Structure 1
Amino acid sequence: MIKRILVALDPDEDTPVATRFSIRLAKRFDASLTGLAVVDISNIHSAIGIGGYGTEIYGRQIWTEMADETRRIAENLLNSFKQRVEKEGVRHRDVKEQGASYDLIVEEMKYHDLLVVGRDSHFFYNQPDRDTDTLANVVKKGVSPTLVVMNEYRSVENVIITFDGSAPAARSLKAFVHLLPYGKDIEIDLVYVADGESSEDMDKAMTILKQAEDYLKEHNFRYISKEVLEKGEPGERIMEHQKKRSPDLTVLGAHSVSAVKRAAFGSTTHHLITNSEVPLFLSP
């Protein structure tokens, strides 16, 4: 059951969507929300490129201005969050911390059941176009599940659960079942990307999916289908299946060993984080 939800606030367009998802969940479970704004100024020195003695005073002035701007943005984010959740009558707390963004988010996750965050969150408020590895580090090192949302809100009634029998996939499946974010009357599509084309490969895939189906049925999920997707790059196969089925959410495991430079995700997760048009539910 969900009783405390953490919302990581960022100036990107998907933060209001994350807030909306969080409000709906909070109302469903009578849960409280925590809006977290992180004043992360660790990038400022590299941003202004402080040089020799002649530029030190000027650099210090620019550093102060950028730090002040970052704090102002954090305050604005918290104010917007507060106004929205209070309008909806949801209990909340507002937190502003200074430090490395992913460290602070991970610390707060220890005391929350779910993190809701936008896919495009960058967290360097003073450089809104600069990409960061914050999301990857949070999912890898966090201790609670993460709901990654895109730029559009949607009610969740149809869910794809990607399941290959691995530990990361099992953790995400179990977290989704135990938290019950959208109840038990949702339609679930269990999918496995085949390892090969032989009958042994198909049997293995169906056996693993059957085990996942039995687990879901024991928890009183009733509307379950299973499908083995043909062999190929898993991220691309899952994306093709998303387009075919138009789900409202995809559940998948977050692999900690990366096959993609600068990402702490596995290659499949990275592909879906980058390209998915529907929210993703992941567990560390």
Structure 2
Amino acid sequence: MINRLIVGFDGSPSSYAAANYAFDLGSKLNIPVVGIYVIDKRLLDETLLEDLAGILGFTFYLGISQKVKEALEKKADVLFQEFAELGRQKGAKVSLVQVEGIPYEEIAAEADEDDLIFVGYKGMHLVKGVLIGSTAERVIRKAPCPVFVSRDNYKPIKRVGIAFDGSPVARKALKVGAELAKGYGANLEVIFVEPNENFPEEVIDQLKAEADKILGEENADYTFTLLKGFPEEQLVEYQANGNVDLLVMGAFGTRPLKEILLGSVAYFVMHNAQGPVVFVK
């Protein structure tokens, strides 16, 4: 059971979309939606600000970090008003948290195992290239719970697709996907991508039987879809073609170090998906 919905909200288009998805689910499940705004402490580092002054052409002076902090706090006030109003319009229970720190660390720290985090794929950046790395990707790696990653565009979720390959994390994804489908009032689909033409038929039958067992325990009706090709490409294309509105999948498989070093299906999907994806660990 999902306990709370944690939304990393920074005013970017994808964070607004993430908030809408969270409010939809929160209002239907009658659970709290917590908006968190993180004042990025890296932007209060005067050494960084001195470097930015040269890039952006503003005048640097000692103590400028306090002015930056005040500006970010004012921005937080405006964003919180917008977040709360949007939540009220959707009938959600809304609360707000403002903290100072590293965004991905603070967002992940706010959540517990029974929560669901919502973040936008692309957050707000002061200067392209200054803040290195993806907040969404780092939240996924650090979070104790599943993470919903939204693109800029919001649309109601009517069909949920779960990528399933029989692995332990994919079994967890089945349960998470089933709960999300019920919460959104959406149809449920289990997707297996056959990686080669000679894939054993009996293995596919075993996967279907396993999905039947797990989703039967969740009282979830579903359809089974078999695709062929490279899993990451097929999943992205299948969603992009409008077959599913929300994709649910395991985050990093069973070999996290190797996945970090060599890349993964989840990594490809995260950076190429056209719609929202929930990553389960």
State whether TM-score is above 0.5.
Answer: yes
Give the equivalent residue in structure 1 for 2:83. Answer: 81
Give the equivalent residue in structure 2 for 1:110. Answer: 112
Q: 1:96 to 1:243 in 2, by over 3 A?
A: closer
Give the equivalent residue in structure 2 for 1:275. Answer: 272
Which amino acid counterpart does residue 166 of structure 2 have in structure 1? G
TM-score by structure 2 length? 0.83
Structure 2 gap ranges (5+): 54-58
Which amino acid counterpart does residue 251 of structure 1 have in structure 2? V
Instruction: Give the stretch that moved more between structures: 247-256 or 147-156.
Output: 147-156
* Superposition map of 1:225-236 within 5 A: 225-227=224-226, 229-232=227-230, 234-236=231-233
| 1:140 CA drift (Å) | 1.6
Does the CA-based 8 Å contact 2:159-2:245 persist in structure 1?
yes
CA distance in 1 between counterparts of 2:51 and 2:119 reads: 31
Give the equivalent residue in structure 2 for 1:171. Answer: 172
Q: 1:121 to 1:210 in 2, by over 3 A?
A: farther
| SS of equivalent to 1:235 | helix
| 1:62 CA drift (Å) | 4.0
| SS of equivalent to 2:182 | coil
| 1:160 CA drift (Å) | 1.6
Does the CA-based 8 Å contact 1:184-1:221 persist in structure 2?
no
* Superposition map of 1:124-139 within 5 A: 126-127=126-127, 130=131, 132-139=133-140
CA distance in 2 between counterparts of 1:21 and 1:258 reads: 32
| 1:46 CA drift (Å) | 3.3
Which amino acid counterpart does residue 13 of structure 2 have in structure 1? E
Give the equivalent residue in structure 2 for 1:246. Answer: 243
Instruction: Give the stretch that moved more between structures: 61-70 or 140-149.
Output: 61-70
* Superposition map of 1:120-199 within 5 A: 120-122=122-124, 126-127=126-127, 130=131, 132-177=133-178, 179-180=179-180, 182-183=182-183, 186-199=186-199
Q: 1:109 to 1:206 in 2, by over 3 A?
A: same
* Superposition map of 1:50-89 within 5 A: 58-89=60-91
Does the CA-based 8 Å contact 1:3-1:26 persist in structure 2?
no
Aligned residue pairs, count: 270
CA distance in 2 between counterparts of 1:50 and 1:282 reads: 35
Give the equivalent residue in structure 1 for 2:56. Answer: none
Which amino acid counterpart does residue 20 of structure 2 have in structure 1? R
| 1:48 CA drift (Å) | 3.2
| 1:199 CA drift (Å) | 4.7
CA distance in 2 between counterparts of 1:260 and 1:158 reads: 30
Give the share of equivalent positions with the same residue, in percent: 23
| 1:104 CA drift (Å) | 1.0
Give the equivalent residue in structure 2 for 1:41. Answer: 41
CA distance in 2 between counterparts of 1:87 and 1:222 reads: 31
CA distance in 1 between counterparts of 2:140 and 2:150 reads: 14
TM-score by structure 1 length? 0.82
Instruction: Give the stretch that moved more between structures: 191-200 or 145-154.
Output: 191-200
| SS of equivalent to 1:6 | strand
Give the equivalent residue in structure 1 for 2:210. Answer: 211
Give the equivalent residue in structure 2 for 1:54. Answer: none
Q: 1:8 to 1:243 in 2, by over 3 A?
A: closer
Structure 1 gap ranges (5+): 52-56
CA distance in 1 between counterparts of 2:48 and 2:74 reads: 21
